[in-house]
Every structure is written in structure tokens, then in C-alpha cells.
């Protein structure tokens, strides 16, 4: 079975915790992402994943509090943000995960 060919710690999702600068709104964003693709008969290709968080506002900054990467069993694999990150107007924050 294809699942048996993939390491049990395959990562599948990022959670991003974003708060607006001026208004103090708080949002958690779930971003499904995959560390592998299946192709051919029982073949798996590992991938690098890039997560980009964009501040699309022309008026105010946003703050990123957490970017966490979890595996399929729900265990935390990596916590990318050690301290809050402020994104100014139209700025982007990216993290790359390679398996």
C-alpha cells in the first residue's frame, strides 16, 4: 500500500496565527500543504514546501504570532516563529520546510 512507503512523520499542514496591527483582531489560518506526492505504481516523491504569509493591506501592518508545522498524527514538527513578526504594508514572510 502507498501509505506504507511514506514515513509516518509526513507533515501535512501549517497553522498560522495572525493578528492585525491596529485593530487587535486575531485569526488562526489553516494552510493544508503536503510533503510528498504519489506517482506511478507505489512511488512517492518528497517535496519542499514554502509557506508565504502576505500582508495585503495598504493601510495597516499585521503581526504573526505563530507558524507551526504538524505531522499527520497531530504532533508538532516545527515552530517557526520564536518571537512575534510584524509585517508592514504589502510585506511577505516565508518559511521553507524540506523533508
Beta strand pairing call for 76-79 and 92-98:
unpaired
How would residue 14 be classed by pLDDT, with cut points 50, 70 and 90?
low
pLDDT of residue 51: 84
Give tens-digit pLDDT for 46-73. Answer: 888 888 888 888 998 988 888 888 887 8
pLDDT of residue 27: 77
Q: Residue 52, Cα to own-chain centre: how many angstroms?
A: 8
Q: Which residues contact 51 (CB under 8 A, 6 or more apart)?
A: 14, 16, 31, 33, 67, 94, 95, 96, 97
Amino acid at each position: 500500500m502507498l501509505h506504507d512507503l511514506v514515513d509516518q512523520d509526513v507533515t501535512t499542514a501549517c497553522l498560522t496565527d495572525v493578528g492585525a496591527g491596529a485593530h487587535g483582531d486575531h485569526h488562526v489560518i489553516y494552510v493544508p500543504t503536503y510533503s510528498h506526492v504519489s506517482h506511478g505504481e507505489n512511488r512517492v516523491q518528497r517535496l519542499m514546501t514554502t509557506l508565504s504569509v502576505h500582508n495585503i493591506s495598504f493601510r495597516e501592518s499585521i503581526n504573526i504570532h505563530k507558524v507551526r508545522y504538524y505531522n499527520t498524527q497531530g504532533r508538532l514538527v516545527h515552530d517557526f516563529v520564536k518571537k512575534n513578526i510584524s509585517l508592514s504594508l504589502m510585506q511577505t514572510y516565508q518559511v521553507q520546510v524540506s523533508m
